[in-house]
Amino acid sequence: MSAVPDPVRPAALVRGLLGGVVTGATLSAFVTGIVLEKVPLILFGLGLPLGYGVLLFIAGMPRRAREAAIVPRVALARIESLRAGGTETGDVPVDLVLTIAPGDAPSFRTGITHHVNLVDLPRYRPGDILVVEYPPDRPWRAEVVPHPTAEWERRAAGAVVEPAPESTLVQEPPEGWGFASAAFLGLVVGAAVVLGLFRVELFGPEPEPPPSSSSSTVTVGPRESAPDAEELRAIIESLAGRAEIPADRVPDLVRQATSTLDVGWPRTWQITVVRGPDAVTVRITATGPGGSASVVVPPR
């Protein structure tokens, strides 16, 4: 009666795949939401497993109803070994290895966990006979009957149950390699879906910072004549120094200012510097009686 793994059960494969997808999507959405600072994505990652749990509960209702309709079998069982666990309450979880004797079928072994009150723990000893009940199709879900009927109490009092061989041990069938493979595949798919939806924000190039700019302005008081070349150079050099313009750009500024800007004798000069990642752009603006004019010195 030993359990044989069934690696190709469709229900197990579907359950493993869906569970993996939910797990992968949950972890990926939660981490992605934190990285991108998206609160809705974080909430989605937290709510997805809860919603999946509700769906599993609803989907499993018919199966649980069928299992509940099965009448359990009652039999005598011999305690082969026991091991008590730790607890902070009055009930102690005790792992029991039992030999169950159905009476009309060969005896077999199984392992169960039975919660025993700490006061009653000395009553459970190897070799003692108990009354148990179990579903015929799932004997590994056997349970100790805490209050058997008078008839079963009489049977247990005078019964002798021979130990069953260890080879007859029955246990819940493992999911098998198919379940593990489907779960891993679902994990990868779930994570990839979320990462694919936000791949641009996660892996796209970072936006370049806006170029910095600085400006410097000087006002020249009224005078009867325009400044000569040396005075103009001194004004532009003073502005260039305030705006932290490289010295090699000053000759271009002087040439552009003297040959292009024609607003009469300018009263105000302004230099604006825009520093990009690869070049520096300089704009010089002059304001005078004839209006305002500006020129951009090409970057180099």
Average pLDDT over every residue of 153-179: 85
DSSP classification of residue 247: G
Helix (H, G, I), strand (E, B) or coil at 151: helix
Tell me whether strands 108-117 and 169-170 are parallel, antiparallel or unpaired: parallel
Q: What is the pTM of this model?
A: 0.52
pLDDT for position 1: 45
Average pLDDT over every residue of 242-270: 64
C-alpha to C-alpha distance for 165 and 212, rounded to whole angstroms = 84
Mean pLDDT across the chain: 79
Report whether pLDDT(26) > 90: yes
The Cβ of residue 87 has, within 10 Å, a number of other Cβ atoms equal to: 11
Structural domains of the chain ordered from first start:
10-68+175-201 (no CATH), 70-170 (2.40.50), 212-297 (no CATH)
pLDDT for position 7: 45
Residue pLDDT, tens place only, 54-104: 998 998 898 888 888 888 999 999 999 999 877 666 788 899 999 999 988
DSSP classification of residue 19: H
201-226 b/e with 16+ CB inside 10 Å = b?
eeeeeeeeeeeeeeebeeebeeeeee
Average pLDDT over every residue of 98-119: 89
Strand segments (E) across 26-164: 73-84, 91-101, 108-117, 129-134, 143-144
Residue pLDDT, tens place only, 273-285: 676 666 667 777 7
Q: How confident is the model at residue 43 (pLDDT cuts 50, 70, 90)?
A: very high
Share of the chain above pLDDT 70, in %: 67
